[in-house]
Amino acid sequence: MKKKGILNPKISELVARMGHGDMLVVTDRGFPLPMNPSVTVVDVSVGANLPGVVDVLKVILEELEIEEIIIAEETEKISPQIHKEFMKIISEVRNKGNEIRIKVIPHMEFKHMLLRGAEEGKEVKGMVRTGELTPYANIILVSGVTF
C-alpha cells in the first residue's frame, strides 16, 4: 500500500504521464469540464469543500515539476484568501530552487483557453475537479523538467 504522495491512482498516473509544457488544471466544483476523451478528468469531490483545491494542489506539487502557473485575475479580486494560498505554495516551491513564472489572465480567457485547448487535445493532459466551493479557485500547472 502506497503511504505518501499522490494516493489517487488516476492522478498519480496523470502526473507520471506529464511532459514538458503539458498542462494540468486543478479546479473548483463549478468549473466546466471538457468532454474530449483525450483529456483525463478526475473528479475527487466528496462533499462541500472536500477536498479543497489547496489540499489537492499541495499533494500534486510533491510530485509534479512545474515551470509556470496560470490563474485568473478574478481570483485575487474575488477570492483573495485562495490567491494568497496559491502564492504561498508557489513561494515554497520556488524556495527549493525552481523558477516558476506566474501568468494572470481574465477568467473568460482562462476558461476558453482550457476548453478550446482541451477540445483540440492540445497540452491539456488533465483536470482534477475538487469539492472547492470558493469562486475562481482554479489553477493551471504547466509542467517543467527536472534537469
Q: Where are the domains of the chain?
A: 20-143
Over residues 91-135, the pLDDT tens digits come to 999 877 878 999 999 999 999 878 776 656 568 899 999 999 999
Residue 60: is its pLDDT beyond 60?
yes
Q: Span 20-143: which CATH code? A: 3.40.1650.10
Q: What is the pLDDT of residue 39?
A: 86
Q: What is the pTM of this model?
A: 0.94
Band of pLDDT at residue 3, cut at 50, 70 and 90? very high
Q: For 47-61, what is the mean pLDDT? A: 98
Q: Which of 20, 83, 107, 112 is catalytic?
A: 20
Q: What is the pLDDT of residue 102?
A: 97
Q: What is the pLDDT of residue 119?
A: 57
Specify whether 83 is catalytic. no
Single out the residue of 26, 20, 9 nearest to residue 126, CA to CA. Answer: 26
Q: What is the pLDDT of residue 118?
A: 63
Over residues 17-49, the pLDDT tens digits come to 999 999 999 999 999 988 778 889 999 999 999
Q: How far is CA 108 from CA 54, 71, 74, 94, in A?
A: 22, 11, 10, 28
